[in-house]
Amino acid sequence: MPAERKRILVIDDDPDMHAALRLILEPAGYQVTCCTTGPEGLATMRRDPPDLLLLDIMLATPTEGFHLAHEMRHDGRLQSVPIIMISALGESMERECGEEIGNGSLRVERFIDKPFQAATILNAVNAILAAGPGAGGQAAAGER
Amino acid sequence: MPGRRRLSDLFFPHGEFRAKVLLAIIRSRRFIHIRWLIIATILLLVSVERWLNPQFRRPRAIELCTLALAAINTLWMLVGRSLLRRGADQEPPPPELLHRVVWFVNGQMIVDLLFLTAVLRYSGGIENPMVIFYLLHMLIAAMLLRPANALLQGAWAVLLFGGLVFGEYFGWIAPHYPFLAPPAGSSSHADWMHALTTTGVLATGVLATLYFTLQISARLDEQEARLRGAMDALQRSQEAIRDLQARRSRFMQTAAHQLKSPLAGVQTLAGLIHDGVVPAEAVRPTCARIIQRCREGISQVGELLTLARIQEADPTRPGQELANARQVLLKLCQRFQPVAREKQIDLSWELPRTRDLLVRIDPASLADCLGNLIDNAIKYTPGPGRVTVTLRPGDVLRAAPPDEPAPQPADAPSVPYVSITVADTGMGIEPDALAASADPNSHRSIFDAFLRGNNALAAGIPGTGLGLAIVREIVEQAGGRIAVRSAPGRGSAFTVVLPTPLAPTPPDAVKSTRSTVVVLPMEPG
């Protein structure tokens, strides 16, 4: 359990995912903030950068999550915020879209498929936040 | 120089095929090669004649003419090479290059005809059967050049030959060199009957050759144009099919994801309960969420099926069914009244009482379309608010000419279109989304399936993102149009213009998708 509560931002248009992620992460000692849209999430992050972002890919448009991640990587204050992408898109499409938008250079710490289990989320979040900001990429290849 | 430009336009090769043939001939230097062959043949023939008949003295002039032709042919070779240096590899060939090529071919032909006449002059004139070579030039001219251009070349040929024949007859050009050594050589050049007949026959031959060849090449041109038109149409329809396939594929991917989303939500939440992650007091609300998601999933499947049913209809064969717009709207408004009242929304309708308005669409589709618009209006209007449904005869989107009176309800049966507007005082649509909807190439239109406004998402209003896609599909298939007016915080107004049985049936052309939607500025007030 972290000594000071780490802040996690969730951007997902599905309120059920907000509820599920709160149920998983809050008892583990994380402070969870949820946003429904990309612009709202980006504004929240710019006001107060979180320690980790859980980002849905399909928001108002089918690839808004990628665009948002791309924008973050070009924003000095947000470029080191680790990102876990959560989506029901499926692996191949995630990679395809990600490469298309970031020319293959878009750094995302991990992809997690919906539906997910509590342990998958917790393990990923714990691993990335324990490794420190911007260092979660090494763990990316492992579990899905 | 504009004058020269116009003249060369007159001679400009028509049809891409002919231009390509012209270019290919210049590129392969075929004319130049044939000319070398002719030069060699003339020199050989003169030598043979000299060897066979040493007494007969042919003047040196014929050899000098041939050598001059050789010099000019070398010049043509160089000109041809420099001509192709610029733009020859461009596809299609640039017009300037084709203009230059046409002038080049004309120049060669003018000089060739002149040399042919000069050679004839020293080898028997009228007696020499080589006159047939004038016709060969006419064939080439008629096939490669414009009719006016070919006729000018024909006139030049007749002038040259006529000048030679009558020059010799009247003695302006002297002496006459017989075709073969005397006594075999005749003196037909001094026979006026022969001179007139041969010149007449040649002129007729030139004219007939030009006429028939031009006729045939005109048919070929027509055929080429027809073929090109057919190919363009084929390409366009191929592009349309490719576009449709891409849209379908994108739609399928999105639909699959959208159907997976509620299921994923249900599985995740149920899994959390199962794994004991959800504390006891949160189990009931979590179950309620699960049930709600199942409900949403089912309604999404229902809407997808509706969309599939509409898309399945053959757009080239519009249905013969008619819907009574007034009745359909009345039923819908009555159906939505309790929902609106519950949200403290004043749902009112303004329907012409005098007559029923028939619309060329099947009643179920009309109800689907207008039901979605009314449902959206109520959904995106926070109470207390107002939703107004208006039915009017005529096309309210078309600006009526000042002298044409606006159609009155009493004229209803005589109008080709009716307009239905659903206006609300709700949250409105964001300018970005509205702008995307006006752009026919955007995939972020509010009428695209599964796209939802950020303000609607932020407000947590549940929706499938399929309602407006269904509306657009139905209106498109009916041959109608949609207009949107909206401003955030002020509300939205969707106007659907649908054809009555009096509207002209659209031609069976492929229906242009997306041009159905227009975005209009919000009315003041």
Mutate to test the interface with A, among B434, B454, B461 (most CBs of A within 10 A): B454
Neighbouring C-beta atoms of residue B354, cutoff 10 Å: 12
- Decide if B274 touches A, using CB distance below 8 A: no
Per-residue model confidence as pLDDT tens digits over B367-402: 989 999 999 999 999 879 999 999 988 887 776 555
- Decide if B277 touches A, using CB distance below 8 A: yes
Q: Is the pLDDT of residue B411 over 70?
A: no
| CB B136, CB B143: distance < 8 Å | no
Per-residue model confidence as pLDDT tens digits over B288-323: 999 988 988 888 888 888 888 877 766 555 567 888
Mutate to test the interface with A, among B457, B461, B464, B468 (most CBs of A within 10 A): B457
Interface of B with A in 126-165 (CB under 8 A): none
- Decide if B260 touches A, using CB distance below 8 A: yes
Burial of B358 (0-12, 13-18, 19+ CB in 10 A): middle
- Alpha-carbon gap: A113 to the closest alpha carbon of chain B (Å): 9
Angle at CA of residue B380, ends B353 and B289, nearest 5°: 125
| Contact residues on chain B for A115, CB-CB shorter than 8 A | 263-268, 271
Q: What pLDDT is recorded for position B406?
A: 53
Domains identified in chain A and CATH numbers: 7-131 (3.40.50.2300)
- Alpha-carbon gap: A36 to the closest alpha carbon of chain B (Å): 5
Q: Which residue has the tokens 């242009």?
A: B512
Q: Which residue has the tokens 């949107």?
A: B484
Q: What's the 3-state SS for chain A?
A: CCCCCCEEEEECCCHHHHHHHHHHHHHHCCEEEEECCHHHHHHHHHHCCCCEEEEECCCCCCCHHHHHHHHHHCCCCCCCCCEEEEECCCHHHHHHHHHHHHCCCCCCCEEEECCCCHHHHHHHHHHHHHHCCCCHHHHCCCCC
Question: For chains A and B, what is the number of CB pairs under 8 angstroms?
Answer: 80
The token pair at A130 is 């324990």
SS3 B403: coil
What's the whole-number mean pLDDT along residues A97-117?
74
- Decide if B4 touches A, using CB distance below 8 A: no
Neighbouring C-beta atoms of residue B266, cutoff 10 Å: 20
| CB A65, CB A85: distance < 8 Å | yes
Pure H helices in B409-490: 431-438, 454-458, 467-478
- Alpha-carbon gap: B488 to the closest alpha carbon of chain A (Å): 16
d(CA A142, CA B105): 73
What's the whole-number mean pLDDT along residues B211-215?
87
- Alpha-carbon gap: B374 to the closest alpha carbon of chain A (Å): 22
Query: From the list B261, B451, B460, which residue is nearest A60 (CB)?
Result: B451
Q: What pLDDT is recorded for position A100?
A: 56
Q: Range with the lowest mean pLDDT among A3-17, B116-130, B434-448?
A: B434-448
pLDDT tier for residue B191 given thresholds of 50, 70 and 90: confident
Residues in A whose CB is inside 8 Å of some CB of B read 13-17, 19-20, 23-24, 27, 36-40, 58-62, 88-89, 93, 114-118
- Alpha-carbon gap: A49 to the closest alpha carbon of chain B (Å): 20
Q: What pLDDT is recorded for position B196?
A: 83
- Alpha-carbon gap: B484 to the closest alpha carbon of chain A (Å): 20
Higher pLDDT, B352 or B13: B352
What's the whole-number mean pLDDT along residues A13-19?
88
Query: From the list B264, B267, B278, which residue is nearest A23 (CB)?
Result: B278
Q: What pLDDT is recorded for position B15?
A: 64
Mutate to test the interface with B, among A22, A23, A57 (most CBs of B within 10 A): A23
Nearest to A58 by CA among A36, A79, A82: A36
Q: Is the pLDDT of residue B114 over 60?
A: yes
What's the complex ipTM? 0.80
* Contact criterion met (CB < 8 Å) for B454 and A24: no
What's the whole-number mean pLDDT along residues A17-30?
93
Q: What pLDDT is recorded for position B514?
A: 46
- Alpha-carbon gap: B272 to the closest alpha carbon of chain A (Å): 7
- DSSP H or E segment with residue B420: strand B417-424
Q: What pLDDT is recorded for position B511?
A: 47
Query: From the list B272, B451, B460, which residue is nearest A61 (CB)?
Result: B451
Per-residue model confidence as pLDDT tens digits over B44-102: 988 888 888 777 666 788 889 999 999 999 999 999 888 888 777 777 778 788 888 88
For residues B357, B361, B367, B373, the Cα torsion angle rounded to the nearest 10 degrees is: -90
Average pLDDT, chain B: 83
Q: Provide the sign of the torsion angle of the four alpha carbons A8, A13, A16, A17, taken in this order.
A: negative
**Percentage with pLDDT > 90 across chain B:** 29
Q: What pLDDT is recorded for position B257?
A: 75
Per-residue model confidence as pLDDT tens digits over B125-169: 888 888 888 998 999 898 888 888 899 999 999 999 999 999 988
